[in-house]
Amino acid sequence: MPDEAPLLRVRDLVTSFRTDSGTLRAVDQVSFEVPRATTVALVGESGSGKTVTALSILRLVSSPPGRIESGSVELEGRDLLQLPERDMRAVRGNQVSMIFQEPMTSLNPVYTAGWQIMEAVRLHQRKSRAQARARAVELLRLVGIPEPETNVDAYPHQLSGGQRQRVMIAMALACEPKLLLADEPTTALDVTIQAQILELLRDLQQRLSMSILLITHDLGVVAENARHVVVMYAGRVVESAPAKDLFARPMHPYTRGLLESIPRPEARAAGPVRRLKTIEGMVPDMRALPPGCRFADRCALRIDKCADEEPPLAPIEAAPERRSRCWRASEVSP
Amino acid sequence: MTEPKDLFQQPAKPPAAAPDREESIDPAGGDRPRTLAATERVAKYFPVESTWFGRKGRFVRAVDGVSLRVRRGETMGLVGESGCGKSTLGRLMLRLVDPTFGRVVYDGKDITHHSQRELRPLRRRMQIIFQDPYSSLNPRMTVREIVGEAIRVHRLAKTRADEETRIVDLLEHVGMRGDAMDRYPHEFSGGQRQRIGIARALAVEPEFIVCDEPISALDVSIQAQIVNLLVELQERLGLAYLFVSHDLKVVEHVSHRVAVMYLGKIVEQAPSETIYRQPRHPYTRALLAAVPQPDPERKRVRLVLEGDVPSPIDPPSGCAFHPRCPRAVKGTCDREVPRLEDAPQARGATGAGSHRVACWNPYVD
């Protein structure tokens, strides 16, 4: 059944950075899959390696200091890490595109929105200027920019934050990619605008049957948009599960801690302000990682074994779609 | 520093005097020490489009006639989207921005026209924690100097050793190791820089802190730590906070009362649990519905607001929210500005007068 094969399969990906005080592995043996026409969320805090993972998929890690050391990134069975740079350029934008968190810094301020979309179109498709412009207008309409015929000539500063993110999305969609890497696409936006953009992405996903790798730290955004969730911590995948299972019953202490640290409106009682549950401590220094589990010194379930031996990302019995990197995975959510 | 006088004439007219149902904030009005920081119909208009021949008389109405008070030891949450004026209002309360109209009152004293010198003794009592930990710390100063500066300016430590202990203490309070002292801001992550900013604000032991999006730049697990820290400090030191944020979940959690702003005005204000359980203003409701919930089984509420926040230079006529409002009444909402008045009460509700809404057609259920 060829259709059952995932669109993207990342295996044992290692990306490292050279720093003054040694080499650190920002992405360390990361494996996950993105099925067709599905949203998979990559969750983690800053420094967990989620953005570097996305950049590695597109081979956009700046080198030096970065280097993709090993592993494979298979898009429809073809390992992108083995492609010559010329072929890779055809993959970027055409089959895989990326949108970023800060639409103001990702758009070129001296060119109009339309010009930047036309550039994306003409780089990958043989189209005349007029055709490309028509396509730009069409794309702006698709992403919900009002009066696209006029706004195609607008400069980024003339657009609002939400509109700029729509232009970014229009650029990313110019060639109808199979996979969209969305790196914190709504983090810089207000909630009502965030709701619009997420709605737009869901709608576009259905219409274009595109897969989305949604990189975010907002578990609310994850819950409402992703079918599958991959949780990263200190360069490692620590848990991977279908969204509804993960939220109902996290099987890694870090995931559980993240979920518990969200303020829940329905639980807010009248009276004094309560404490939030927190994960004590800080992310370990990536240049001096402990030999055992990287979460161990923040973990309430820690046992002696955790400090000495890092657990593997192991499948959970009776839940074939789930994996957890914890010696006590079954005890996390009693 | 102060606005040119002509500013007072140029805008069409001062905001209409809304009937203020809350008690007077004048000390002469009686013994009411509960209010620590307050504004009375305060407005801030920023002139735009100046030409060679002077101002053309166009203004961004960042804050447009807002009365707000923060009581001792309480957290007043101030929510709204970017550009609604919430940060400007916070700065007005601290007199970091001079008001165009209205009054600013601190601890019973009208400080609207205080000079910088007169304000200086108050500066130790009121502090601010900024949103952007990148631009708010001097990159050439070590953490020791950043946190220690205020201690030295206000002479809060007798000896160098004393100062050092205080700095270490403060850093530990905000979850940082003492060995951070002699490092520079660029050596820290955004989250850690924000902690340094908080340590700096706490260094002078203030009683009122404007927290301007203090946790927006932090990771989820770190956000909870900082929120707890702020709550803990409040309980221990009796701090009052104006907690400015676009994150409704966190505002709800930390605030005793919440005010919702839209285009320079407060559209709804109530005790925290009331505003979240019985939002009356359509904007408040839309804001709440837009917050993604960490529950994949929950049905998404399709209440997506269309369009962007209009420009505060040319705010829409009548209620500024009416072009985006699902409940707008033609002929009323687009013509007349609603005042902040007592919200319709749910059956059996107590505390009349504490829930106020500025809407011609508020939700009643």
| Strand extents, DSSP E, chain B | 35-51, 54-71, 75-79, 101-106, 109-110, 126-129, 208-212, 240-245, 257-262, 265-271, 341-342, 356-357
Structure tokens at B317: 């006529």
Q: With contacts defined as CB-CB under 8 Å, which chain A residues touch B292?
A: 194-195, 198, 218, 220-221, 223-225
Q: Do A279 and B224 touch (CB under 8 A)?
A: yes
CA–CA separation, B242 vs B238, rounded Å? Answer: 13
Q: Which of B231, B250, B290 sits opposite A275 (nearest CB)?
A: B231
Tell me the per-residue pLDDT of A65-81, one tens digit each, with 9 for 90 and over: 899 999 999 999 999 99
Q: Do A247 and B308 touch (CB under 8 A)?
A: no
Q: Radius of gyration over alpha carbons of chain A, in Å?
A: 21
- Across the A/B interface, how many CB contacts are shorter than 8 Å? 129
Q: Do A45 and B220 touch (CB under 8 A)?
A: yes
Residue-by-residue DSSP string for B202-214: HTT--SEEEEEST
Nearest CA in chain B to A248: B295
CA–CA separation, A122 vs A127, rounded Å? Answer: 6
The closest of A176, A31, A164, A38 to A96, measured between CA atoms, is A176
pTM of the predicted protein model: 0.82
Residues with Cβ within 8 Å of residue B193, at least 6 apart in sequence: B133, B134, B137, B185
Q: With contacts defined as CB-CB under 8 Å, which chain A residues touch B222?
A: 45
HEC assignment per residue over A34-57: ECCCCEEEEECCCCCCHHHHHHHH
Which phi and psi angles does A124 have, rounded to 5°? -110, -20
Assess A276–B contact: CB distance below 8 Å, yes or no: yes
Q: For residue A267, name the pLDDT band (cuts at 50, 70, 90).
A: low
Question: Which pLDDT score is estimated for B349?
Answer: 56
CA–CA separation, A112 vs A77, rounded Å? Answer: 37
Mean pLDDT by 10 residues, chain B (365 residues): 41 43 45 80 84 67 93 94 89 95 94 92 90 82 91 87 90 81 86 83 91 81 81 86 89 92 94 89 90 80 71 86 91 93 69 82 88
Task: Check whether A58 has a pLDDT greater than 70.
Answer: yes
> Across residues A2-21, what is the average pLDDT?
87
Question: Which pLDDT score is estimated for B33?
Answer: 55
> Across residues A49-66, what is the average pLDDT?
91
Distance from CA of A165 to the nearest CA of B (A): 13
Question: Which pLDDT score is estimated for B11?
Answer: 43
Query: What SS3 state is found at A232?
Result: strand
Assess A56–B contact: CB distance below 8 Å, yes or no: no
Question: Which pLDDT score is estimated for B301?
Answer: 62
Kindly report which listed range (A151-160, A228-237, B2-11) carries the lowest average pLDDT score: B2-11
Q: For residue A144, name the pLDDT band (cuts at 50, 70, 90).
A: confident
Tell me the per-residue pLDDT of A169-207, one tens digit each, with 9 for 90 and over: 888 888 889 999 999 888 877 888 888 888 889 988 998
Q: Do A265 and B276 touch (CB under 8 A)?
A: yes
Strand partners, A42: A215, A230
Residues with Cβ within 8 Å of residue A24, at least 6 apart in sequence: A16, A17, A286, A287
Task: Check whether A39 has a pLDDT greater than 50.
Answer: yes
Structure tokens at A199: 């709605």
Question: Which pLDDT score is estimated for B5?
Answer: 41
Q: Do B224 and A194 touch (CB under 8 A)?
A: no
A 10 A CB-CB count for B81 gives 22
Please answer whether residues B266 and B66 qualify as being in contact, where contact means their C-beta atoms are separated by less than 8 angstroms. Answer: yes
Q: Mean pLDDT in chain A?
A: 89
Q: In what order do the strands lie in the sheet with A66-75?
A: A22-34, A8-19, A66-75, A78-79
Half-sphere exposure of B29 (CA within 13 A, CB side): 12
Question: Which pLDDT score is estimated for B27?
Answer: 44
